[in-house]
Chain A
Amino acid sequence: MNTEKVISGFFFILAMTINFGFVYGDPANLEYHSGYELFAAIVINLIATVLKLGDKTQLGSVLLATSLVADIQLIASATVWAFAVYVMQGMNLESTVAVVSLAAGAFIANIVSVTLFIGDTLKSKR
């Protein structure tokens, strides 16, 4: 068993699942989407990104790229939220859908990342 793999695998998958948890629910209704979940998703995704740093293989670069995409989408989602609340006149339908769909995009990036990660694991353990 490889400890490093366990830790990085844990964070990669946790990043995806928490991301899913936030996105799940009616995209037009903010009550289904908790801010705490979005916060957790951002933090876990950042940790996953850092864990992917410094892998000079081809796969490592693609994994890092997917993670960066997820980070940007999630941070954009949080930024839209904060902007809508403090600068515009509070959350409306448009901003709510934007927050959720940005996070949904991050979720897809996370799916790609986890798929690649599992694929690589399967290939090497055969």
Chain B
Amino acid sequence: MESNNTIWIIIRRMRIPFLVIIVTFSISILGMTLIPGMDDQGHPYKMTFFDAFYFVSYMASTIGFGEAPYTFTYPQRMWVSACIYLTVIGWFYGIGAIVALVQDKRLARELDIARFRKKIRELREPFTIVLGYNNITHQIIDWLNKEGIRVVVVDKDAEKVETLDLENFIPEVPSLAADVTHPETLKMAGIHKKNCQAIVALFEDDVKNTKIALLCKLLNKRVKLVIKSTTQTQSEHLHNLGVRYIEDPFDFVSNRIYLALTSPSLWLLEMWIFGHILRMRHREVLPKGKFIICGYGRMGHALERALKKAGIPYAYVDIKSTIYKEEKQSAVFGDGEDYQTLLDAGVKEAAAIIAATKDDLINLTILATARKINPEIYTIGRENTLDDLSIFKSARINRVYILERILAEFTYLFIARPLAYRFVRLLHSRDENWGRALVDRMHSTLGENPLHFEITIDEEHAYALSRELAAGRKIRLGALCRSRADRSRQLPLIVLLLQKNENELELLPDDEFPLKNGMKLLIAAIDESKNDFEYIVNNYYELEYVIGEE
């Protein structure tokens, strides 16, 4: 407990003030009891200890009720004059020093840390440690909280932590201002705890992320890591460390564009998992034809890979936002020279243009300029921060990729909906026909706005079912998906994914699939059928009825 030292140092520093108060008080009290006085009848008397203690207490603290119990004699007054200076100075010094120590910044920080530790100790639910507080993690915290997953936040910046405290998240989010690359900090945040599920590090700086990943791996092998990496080399480092889940926002966007170009149904399924409705809007259909990529950084490269893989012709305009701003002294794209650049790249005959620079304003103006030249062009913009959502919305851009939001969505899915996340990953290895068939099936049974949920077959989530299975009864998947009102009718739900154990997954399991305890299901349903299903697996009578004679 290295950090507790400060408290001891501060207590130690309180010794002198305490001693000063004790010594000055005792000298004054002793003097008062020794010096003879005179009572109201003129008899000599000596103050008792209680009288002296009472008098000195209010004298020293400058309350001053007057001379008690009788008016003082001159020898007493002389002693009191000496005592006033002795005790008042001692009292002011002592109390002043103690108050200063109590207000000491280091002490306040120690108390903060102690409070944080206590909160972490008392966390009983599964929780996720989020390193760094910003727009992305704010969103993630919001979603995780709704899902009942507790979050712990550590950020180096004390001001950000204060902003977080003002947010009043419910349930409470314990937060601490500390250096996240320090192992002690991670330990304080509870990395060793059994219910610590995941650690999220999405810093701008890839090297910092890798460093954190290394630390976390060394401190706790079991914990899931969500680490952002936008460069090949860092990703390789992370792979070598055994980090299975690496978030590269450029890669996510590139994959999505590839999917949208080659297989709209799979794209639709992926978007549906993230909350899109299960229907493609007209303006979401990407046109076939030549693409122009503006900005040839990490994002541009990722897009190039996607277009190449999909076999789409493309051209790119190499605009670096920082260099552009330096040369032109403005962040607005679209003077004569820029016009020419776009014309040279072939905007007139291109089907779509992607503005992918690091600067939001440049992206907006690129798209506006392109639209002026070719009003029919399909515009795709990269939005870097979640702050100015409204500008992009009002600019009527056909499709906007908000990198921060995509990061937040994937992180949330990975932590809170592991099966849905794996489903999305599996989609990428399927083809359009498979996707089309699934979408059609979902449309016909569930309509255009189905929801998805995950359920684990165990006593907590499926009481009756898990008890029956434990008792050795054989129950197949199809037997459960029947209506509670009439078991000859099907319940409108589709089991998308079944996880047999950590490594074995069954995509779209058929009705004959035998269930076992510990399996997890990802189910597409509508509100009523979700409630019905949960009712069936938890309630013996319902379960008996739908299974029937089987």
Contact = CB atoms under 8 A, between A and B. Distances in A.
B22 A47 contact: yes
Contact of B12 (A36, A47, A53, A82): A53
Contacts, number: 46
B23 A47 contact: yes
B11 A54 contact: yes
Given A53-B14, A53-B15, A54-B8, A43 B49 contact: no
A38 B11 CA distance: 28
B97 to A, nearest CB: 13
Contacts of B5: 56
B426 interface: no
Given A35-B49, A56-B8, A85-B48, A43 B14 contact: no
A78 B23 CA distance: 18
Contact of B50 (A36, A43, A85): A85
A62 B21 CA distance: 24
B29 A53 contact: no
Interface string A33-65: 001101100010011001101111000000000
Contacts of A53: 11-12, 14-15, 18
Given A54-B8, A54-B11, A54-B14, A82 B19 contact: no
B30 interface: yes
B11 A46 contact: no
Nearest to B27: A43
Contacts of A35: 48-49
B49 A82 contact: yes
Interface string A105-125: 000000000000000000000
Nearest to B16: A50
A117 to B, nearest CB: 17
Interface residues of B, number: 20
Contact of B49 (A51, A55, A56, A78): A78
Contacts of B29: 39
Contacts of A82: 48-50
A53 B101 CA distance: 15
Nearest to A45: B22
Contacts of B9: 54
Contacts of B11: 53-54
A54 B22 contact: no
A46 B53 CA distance: 15
B26 interface: yes
Contacts of A51: 15, 19
Contacts of A46: 22
B216 to A, nearest CB: 31
B50 A86 contact: yes
A76 to B, nearest CB: 14
Interface string B14-56: 1100110011001001100100000000000000111000000
A54 B4 CA distance: 12
A30 to B, nearest CB: 13
Contacts of A85: 48, 50
A56 B7 CA distance: 10
Given A53-B12, A86-B50, A43 B18 contact: no
A50 B15 CA distance: 6
A50 B8 CA distance: 13
Given A39-B29, A54-B9, 14 more contacts: A35-B48, A36-B33, A43-B23, A50-B19, A51-B15, A53-B15, A54-B8, A54-B13, A54-B14, A54-B15, A56-B5, A85-B48, A85-B50, A86-B50
23 contacts: A35-B48, A36-B30, A38-B49, A39-B29, A39-B49, A43-B23, A47-B19, A47-B22, A53-B12, A53-B18, A54-B8, A54-B9, A54-B11, A54-B12, A55-B8, A56-B4, A56-B5, A56-B8, A78-B49, A82-B48, A82-B50, A85-B50, A86-B50
> 7 closest Cβ contacts across the A-B interface?
A54-B12, A43-B26, A54-B11, A82-B50, A50-B18, A56-B8, A46-B22
